[in-house]
Structure 1
Amino acid sequence: MRITGILVLMLLTNFGFAQDKDKEKAQQVSLQKAKDYVYQGNELAEADNYIYAEKEYRKAISKAPSVVAGAYNLGNTYYEKGNYEEALYRHTQAAEQASSKSEKHKAYHNIGNILMKEELCKEAVEAYKNALRNDPSDDETRYNLAIAKECAAQQQQEKDKEEDKKDEDKEDEDKKEDKKEDEKKEDPKDQGDQDKKEGDDQKDDEGKPKDDKDQGKGDKKEDQKQKGEPKPKEGQLSPQQIKNLLEAMNNQEQKVQQKINAEKQKGAKVKPEKDW
């Protein structure tokens, strides 16, 4: 009876060991297939056949998600096609699955590049910092971090200006509303008396409207006053024309400066994507 129990225990132990061995063997097969899919995808990507390369990378991810190269290279494929949203998703997936510092560094570096393409400079700064935490010696990442910081600072300045303008507009609007409220508080009777007084001024002592001749005399005096003002000589600009010209030149100079700043920003490009 005791011998029988020992035999059963040995059989169960051998069965469990065989199951573990089969499971490990299946995992190794899956890993190898995933690596083969990645290799085939790389070959297709080098031939600019991104559609079929994408399929191979997807097969690799499905077969073994732990093979980081599948998600990473698929992200690079999307990046080359300009699909930055999907590229960001795949590189984030690669960063999460990565087990080594080298893999994490490459994934975060490319995440930073994608974010810069989307003009998300503040977020790109954090991505490059994560890349440097995993490989502080990479000069390319350090260079891209400097570009991202400069871009983020400029975006913050523009945001601050917009907020200041909104505050000024709101303040002007509040002043207008206060003015309207003050006008509403005025006594309607006083307003009526003022209208009546203005109507009486239009009549003479006998209650008749003033002669149009008097009105004409006023217009004539005004014309004479305007004629008495000095006119610019032929070939010369009036003070108002000079003022308008200076304002136009100032506006044009500001536009040129803004264009130069924009070109300088465009000229500072980040280093390219890192290959696997």
Structure 2
Amino acid sequence: MKQFVITIILILNVSVLLAQDAKSLIHRGNQLYEQKKFKEAEADYRKAVEKKNENLTGNFNLGDALYKQKKFDHAAKNFTDIASTATNSSVKARAYHNLGNSMLETKKYEESIDAYKKSLLNNPKDDATRYNLAYAQEMLKKQQQQNKQNQHNNQQNQQNKDQNKNNKNDQDKKNQDKNNQGKNDQNKDPNQQNKDQDKKDQDKKDQQDQQQPNQISKDDAQRMLDALNNQEQGTQDKLKNKKLKGGQARILKDW
């Protein structure tokens, strides 16, 4: 019976020592954290968690140290585990808040919004979480707009590529038709080519003859120019006798 009692006491002493060791590791980790030595702090927090299973303080601080090192995915895992297992509303709220921050840093805005909402369910009075929630919602809106714009630009670029391809095909067809026409002209009878050229020359002459009656003499052109100059001078004289009205336009803002 006496031996059984001694065994129990030894087990209790070991548990106390482990708890004290974990506490000292967390304390040292906190000091390193304050000195911005986040990697060293992470190492001590991990040791504290290993010394004492389900060490809430060690796990929470470990998540913070990971976050400060921009290991956002690892930090998110830590805070997710804490939030899902914690029974205290305050702890849940803080874990979900930090989870939301981790998701926000990796631009997972929908996940961060969900985390902030869960944090507010456990602590509705947290203004910092409420602010972060509004910020995440705004960033999600911008992200969706940007995605929509990128999709539109991609469609527009594809349409331009298709149009350029069609234009090239049309040009290739025209060049082919032109080459075929040149070959046909070369195969024509020389007498027929002369007749075609004579017809083109006659058409050109007829066109010039039709335009000839519309031409005016140099004397008529000079008289018209003098009349236009006189009319312009009269307009300028009238303007000299009048004052400009009105001032510089202004743009009024209602905000």
TM class, shorter-length = 0.5 to 0.7
Question: Mind listing any 5+ residue stretches in structure 2 that lack a counterpart?
Answer: 205-255
Q: Which residue of the other structure, out of 203, 206, 212, is the alignment partner of 2:191?
A: 206
Q: Give the length in aligned residue pairs.
A: 194
The answer to whether the aligner puts 1:82 opposite 2:70 as a matched pair is: yes
Q: Which structure would you say has the larger Rg?
A: 2
Separation of aligned partners in 2, 1:33 and 1:85: 29
Q: Greater relative contact order: 1 or 2 (C-alpha under 8 angstroms, separation 6 or more)?
A: 1
Identity %: 31
Task: State the partner residue of 1:162.
Answer: 150
Q: Which amino acid aligns with 1:206?
A: N
Contact 1:75 1:88 in 2 (8 A): yes
Contact 2:79–2:96 under 8 Å retained in 1: yes
By how many angstroms is 1:61 displaced?
1.1
> Is the CA contact (8 Å cut-off) linking 1:102 and 1:134 kept in structure 2?
yes
Instruction: Give distance in 1, aligned partners of 2:117 and 2:92.
Output: 12
The CA RMSD measured in Å over matched residues stands at 4.2
2:26 — aligned with what?
Answer: 38
Q: Establish whether residue 98 from structure 1 lines up as the match of residue 83 from structure 2.
A: no
Q: Structure 1 residue 61 and structure 2 residue 49: aligned?
A: yes
Native 8 Å contact 2:66 2:72 kept in 1 = yes
| TM-score of the superposed pair, with normalisation by structure 2 | 0.59
1:125 maps to which of 99, 109, 113: 113
Distance change (3 Å), C-alpha of 1:165 and 1:193: closer
Q: Deviations over 1:189-236 (max 9, x none)?
A: xxx99865553446685255898xx99xx9xxxxxxxxxxxxxxxxxx
Structure 2 counterpart of 1:68, one-letter code: L
In structure 2, C-alpha distance between the alignment counterparts of 1:197 and 1:46, rounded to whole Å: 86
- Tell me the distance in 2 between the aligned counterparts of 1:142 and 1:28: 41
Change (3 A) 1:115 1:196: closer
Deviation at residue 57 of structure 1 after TM alignment: 0.3
Which runs of 5 or more residues in structure 1 are unaligned? 1-10, 187-191, 219-276
**SS of residue paired to 2:191:** coil
* Pairwise CA distance, 1:104: 1.4
Q: 1:65 to 1:132 in 2, by over 3 A?
A: farther
Q: Does 1:48 align with 2:36?
A: yes
TM superposition shift of 1:147: 0.4
Q: What pairs up with 1:231-246 in 2 under 5 angstroms? A: none
Inter-partner Cα distance in structure 1 for 2:109 and 2:96: 14
Inter-partner Cα distance in structure 2 for 1:127 and 1:85: 14
Using the TM superposition, give the Cα deviation of residue 160 of structure 1 relative to its aligned residue in structure 2, in angstroms.
Answer: 1.8
How many Å separate the matches in 2 of 1:97 and 1:63?
A: 19
